[in-house]
Chain A
Amino acid sequence: MSLLLDVVLKVVVVLFAVLTGFAYLTLLERKFISRLQARIGPNRAGPAGLLQPLAEALKLILKESFVPSRADKFMFFLAPILSVIPALMLFAVIPFGNNDVLQLASHVPVGVLLVASIIGTAVYGIAIAGWSSNNKYASLGGLRAAAQVISYELAFGLAMIAVVLMSSSASLADIVTAQFGGGILGWFIFRQPLAASIFAITAMAELARAPFDLVEAEQELTAGYMTEYGGMKFALFYMSEYIKMIALSGLFVTFFLGGWNGPFAQEFWPLSLLYFFIKVLACLLVMVWVRATLPRLRYDKLMAFGWKGLLPLALANVVVTAALIVSGLPGYK
């Protein structure tokens, strides 16, 4: 009974935190990108635009639920659900802080595998959305999504394998503990810079964020796979993108930025939550910054970059890391 209560409590707390985080991430992105682009951003709804996410949610809920003619109705409704569930599931294994509740399920010994498999399923939502809409732009978007994810999944996995080698554990809680020694230099970003950059790039590609936003490239495919979606169905796609942004930032923090660890975080758990929050926020702001700066890659160039550039690099990195660990170099024991 108490175990069940524990689980329910965790689920409710995490869902609440993540959904609020998502809503305000959209506002944060719009505010921050506005500043980068010499404009003000949303400031009408509530003080400093703070009620903007609420206003938008209300608008989307009230919109008519529209299904295009000759669309596959069942699949059309299924796609947004398939897209948002994996995004939410990712949070199960991310340790938010140094506290039993905040650690969630991060002690599972197959945490990294779980992450890889959940992310792998996220593309089904997009591909099905593109296929079921009976729209040519949408199907092009869906095809692009499938191709893009396949090209980047491998490098993404290999970047995580380097981390697993370093911490000799696939549990995310252990990966955080493996980065304890040596202060800030103990973080894997300094011991595994290549894996960190490959992870960051592939994560951006997984998210289909700029400069890899070919899936929804507005200027080419109008809105890509979500062209025919409106109202709450559209909101679910939007939600899955932003929740995945938070989740992958959380993973990056856990894998490479020492997780929730920081000065006095091990003694006093609220501090660990604060450190985690700050680190995730920094990652998110970098993503927005990249979006404001870079043009979009072309579809075939993106595939070439994934297969011919990142994959061999990631593979070589795994081999070199393994060799270093065997040789017992300090920092790679």
Chain B
Amino acid sequence: MAIVQAPIPIYEDERNTVTAQDAQLDITFDQLKKLVSPRALTGETMLLNMGPQHPSTHGVLRLLLELDGETVINCVPDIGYLHTGIEKTAEGKPYMKSIPLTDRTDYLAPMSNNLAYCGAVEKLVGVDVPIRAQYLRVILAELTRMNSHLVWLGTHALDIGAMSVFLYCMREREMILDVYENVSGARMMSSYFRIGGLWRDVPSSFEPQVRKILEVFPKRVLEYEKLLKENPIWRERTVGIGKIDAVRALEFGMTGPSLRGSGVNYDVRKAAPYSSYDHFNFEVPLGTNGDVYDRYRCRLDEFPQSLKIIEQALNKLPAGPVITDDRKIAPPPKHEIATSMESLIHHFKLWTEGFRTPEGEVYFAVESGKGEYGVFLSSNGTPTPRRVHFRTPSFSNLQALAYMSKGCMLADLVAIIGSIDIVLGDVDR
């Protein structure tokens, strides 16, 4: 990917005499020629630098736009401004110490990321997760999906100009963050999942708290429906904008609601059920047109489905342990360490060396709020992985942006960026 540091004036006039230093060119003229149309080089169309500091690029996405009036002719996404080297960092750490890193990829859906990573390691070492932990993971993952969708809905509506919806969404999100805080002590970077289960059992206040969400949310979702769904301006801004057909969407590797908006019935929860998702009844909302509005509908229709899953899981929640009793993988409880020599050794080994894994490669994916969040692990038998790769939905969904935004208006581009629901931490890793 070419790095372009500033908008590049190619032509000169009396007012604008730009030197190469002023323009801070990091790419050559020949490189630029490949990215934009010849008209931009004569000054007939305008090159506009959007981001990385821009209110609606959802973080630090940078777009090099070629505009004819307000029509977007070319859109070249430039990523890497939030690169934190998470994959590389994870290679130097024992498996269980990378869990907090995963929180920071898609920082709006920490529990889904935890689930994907823990699931991958569990698959690699072949450990069974207690059923109570699986159910709790499902509840928390679905809450996380709603959390992720609430932030998406708020920012998406804000991008199109409906500012109140943003604040209503933040109000609802607060309830979910309170649940995070209750179970893990942290509101955003929760790191609550452990390899083989959960850090600890949920407190007794957890169930009433979640039930309260189940009771309040359906009413609130209806409120958003009224504000946006029947609003003619909203429909005008979203219907038929940023269209992508099913074949093209699959080619770009889109997943999640962004793909389902085009009518492709692919949901990892159904296609390859994990963490007991096959125990629950739910539907996968699908769109038909693949435009901004259908992607919006798909996400909004997922709220009631998530609530349905949470309710079932909460009703069927069994008692029992929340982490595996395999002492090679999970640390023993505190009271055992004080009384049992063997436990003390396990504890010491776990926190100094970690655990060894069989050689091999695994891929484990979950359906996060944004799409298929997969973790690829390659192990050479040592306590640290040889390679960790996160297949993040934001990265793949972003690939389609240039295609979808060709020929749209500048205002539509903002709506399209909102509709693919990207988080830059998730794109850059």
A39 near B161 with CB under 8 A, answer no
**Interface residues of A toward B: which range?**
20 to 34
Closest to A38 in B: B171
Q: Is A6 an interface residue (CB 8 A)?
A: no
| Chain A 25-48 per-residue mask, 1 if CB under 8 angstroms from chain B, else 0 | 000000000001111000000000
A298 touches B48 (CB 8 A): no
Whether A211 contacts B233 by the Cβ 8 Å rule is yes
Q: A300 is contacted by which of B48, B160, B409, B414 (Cβ under 8 Å)?
A: B409
Whole-angstrom CA separation of A217 from B168 in the bound complex = 21
Q: Is the CB of A297 within 8 A of B162?
A: no
* Other-chain residue from A39, A222, A295, A300 in contact with B162 (beta carbon distance below 8 A): A295
For A56, what are the chain B residues with a Cβ–Cβ distance below 8 Å? none
Min CB distance B70 to A, Å, is 6
Which parts of A281-323 form the interface with B (CB within 8 Å)? 291-301
Q: Separation in Å of the A238 CB from the closest CB of chain B?
A: 18
Q: Flag if B164 contacts A37 (CB, 8 Å).
A: yes
- Interchain CB contact (< 8 A) of B409 among A37, A70, A298: A298
Cβ–Cβ < 8 Å partners of A134 in chain B: 15-16
| Assembled-state Cα–Cα distance A295/B233 (Å) | 6
Q: A38-B171, A136-B7, A219-B56 are contacts. A298–B236 as well, Cβ < 8 Å?
A: yes
Inter-chain contacts of A140 with B (CB < 8 A): 70, 410
CA distance A294 to B162 in the complex (A): 5
CB pair A136–B160 under 8 Å, yes or no, is: no
Q: Is the C-beta of A206 less than 8 angstroms from some C-beta in chain B?
A: no
A227 → chain B closest CB, angstroms: 11
Question: Which of the residues B48, B55, B167 comes within 8 Å of A219, measured between beta carbons?
Answer: B55
Contact between A294 and B231, CB atoms less than 8 A apart: yes
Inter-chain contact A297/B414, CB cutoff 8 Å:
no
By a CB distance below 8 angstroms, the chain B residues around A220 are 56, 410-411, 414
Nearest-neighbour CB distance to chain A for B329, whole angstroms, equals 45
Given A220-B56, A295-B157, A295-B161, do A37 and B46 touch, yes or no (CB 8 Å)? no
Q: Least Cβ distance of A228 to chain B in Å? A: 14
Confirm or deny: A213 has a beta carbon within 8 angstroms of a beta carbon on chain B.
Answer: yes
Question: At the interface, yes or no: B163 with Cβ under 8 Å from chain A?
Answer: yes
* Cα separation A51 to B382 with both chains bound (whole Å): 64
- Known contacts A37-B168, A222-B54: A296-B161 contact under CB 8 Å: yes
Question: Is B76's CB within 8 Å of the partner chain A?
Answer: no
* Interface pair A222/B168, CB less than 8 Å apart: no
Query: Are the CB atoms of B161 and A210 closer together than 8 Å?
Result: yes
Residues of A within 8 A of B16 (CB): 70, 134
Q: A218: which B residues are within 8 A, CB to CB?
A: 55-56
Once the chains bind, are A295 and B160 in contact (CB under 8 Å)?
Answer: yes
Q: In the complex, what residues of A have CB within 8 A of residue B164's CB?
A: 36-37, 292-293
Which of chain B's residues 377-414 have a Cβ closer than 8 Å to chain A?
409-412, 414
- Point out the residues of chain A lying under 8 angstroms from B233, CB to CB: 211, 294-297
Most buried by A among B158, B171, B410: B410
Q: Which residue of B lies closest to A39 (CB)?
A: B167
Given contacts A70-B15, A294-B233, A295-B231, contact A136 B48 (CB under 8 A): yes
User: Once the chains are docked, how many angstroms separate the CA of A210 from the CA of B164?
Assistant: 12
Bound form: Cα–Cα A156–B4 in Å: 45
Q: Does B237 contact A (CB under 8 A)?
A: yes
Given A70-B16, A136-B48, the answer on whether A293 and B162 have CB atoms closer than 8 Å is yes
Q: Are B410 and A211 in contact (CB under 8 A)?
A: no
Q: Mark A176-219, 1 if CB is under 8 A from B, else 0.
A: 00000000000000000000000000000000001101100111
Complex contacts, A38 vs chain B, CB 8 Å: 167-168, 171
Query: Which residue in chain A gives the minimum CB-CB distance to B410?
Result: A220
Q: Which of B158, B161, B168, B233 gathers most chain A CB within 10 Å?
A: B161
Q: How far is the CA of A211 from the CA of B168 in the complex (A)?
A: 19
Is B103's CB within 8 Å of the partner chain A?
A: no
Contact B163 A222 (CB under 8 A): no
A37 and B15 contact, Cβ closer than 8 Å, known pairs A210-B161, A294-B233, A298-B237: no
Give chain A residues whose Cβ lies under 8 Å from the Cβ of B266. none
Q: Which residue of B lies closest to A37 (CB)?
A: B167
Asked if A136 contacts B168 (CB within 8 A), the reply is no
Q: For the complex, what is the distance from the CA of A291 to the CA of B159, rounded to whole Å?
A: 14
Residue of B nearest to A291 (CB): B163
Residue of B nearest to A212 (CB): B161
Q: Which A residue sits closest to B158, measured CB to CB? A: A219
List chain B residues, Cβ under 8 A from A294.
Answer: 161-162, 231, 233
Q: Could you say which residues of chain B place their CB within 8 Å of the CB of A221?
A: 410
Chain B: CB-nearest residue to A71: B15
Contact across chains for B163 and A298 when beta carbons are under 8 A apart: no
Q: How far is the CB of A216 from chain B (nearest CB, A)?
A: 11
Residues on A with C-beta less than 8 A from B168 are: 37-38
Cα of A292 to Cα of B158 in the assembled complex, Å: 11
Contacting A at CB under 8 A, from B182-215, are none
**Least CB distance, A253 to chain B, in whole angstroms:** 27
Q: Which residues of B contact A222 (CB under 8 A)?
A: 54-55
Verify if B282 is at the interface (C-beta below 8 Å from A): no
A217 near B411: Cβ-Cβ < 8 Å: yes
By a CB distance below 8 angstroms, the chain A residues around B167 are: 37-39
Which A residues are CB-close (under 8 A) to B231? 294-295
Bound-state Cα–Cα, A203 to B227, Å: 24
**Nearest residue in A to B70 (C-beta to C-beta)?**
A299
Q: Which residues of chain B are near A219, meaning CB under 8 Å? A: 55-56, 158-161, 414
Which residue among A213, A294, A298, A299 has the maximum number of chain B CB atoms within 10 Å of its CB?
A298
Contact of A292 (CB < 8 Å), options: B55, B163, B234: B163
What chain A residues lie within 8 Å of B228 (beta carbons)? 295
Task: List chain B residues, Cβ under 8 A from A214.
Answer: 411
Please measure, in the bound complex, the distance between the C-alpha atom of A221 and the C-alpha atom of B157, giving whole angstroms.
Answer: 16
Q: Min CB distance, A69 to chain B, in Å?
A: 9
Partner of B412, one of A37, A137, A217, A298: A298
Q: Smallest CB-CB separation from B54: which chain A residue? A: A222
Q: How far, in whole Å, are A137 and B410 apart by their CA atoms in the complex? A: 11
In the complex, chain B residues whose CB is within 8 Å of the CB of A136: 7, 46, 48-49
Contacts beyond the supplied A72-B15, A218-B56, A291-B163: 11 A-B pairs with Cβ under 8 Å: A36-B164, A37-B163, A37-B167, A70-B15, A211-B161, A293-B162, A298-B236, A298-B411, A299-B70, A299-B409, A301-B236
Cβ contacts A to B, 13 pairs, < 8 Å: A36-B164, A70-B15, A136-B48, A213-B161, A217-B161, A217-B411, A219-B161, A220-B56, A293-B164, A295-B231, A297-B233, A298-B409, A298-B411
A residues whose Cβ falls under 8 Å from a Cβ of B: 36-39, 70, 72, 134, 136-137, 140, 210-211, 213-214, 217-222, 291-301
9 pairs of A and B residues whose beta carbons are closest in the complex: A296-B161, A219-B56, A37-B167, A295-B162, A295-B161, A295-B160, A219-B159, A298-B411, A292-B164
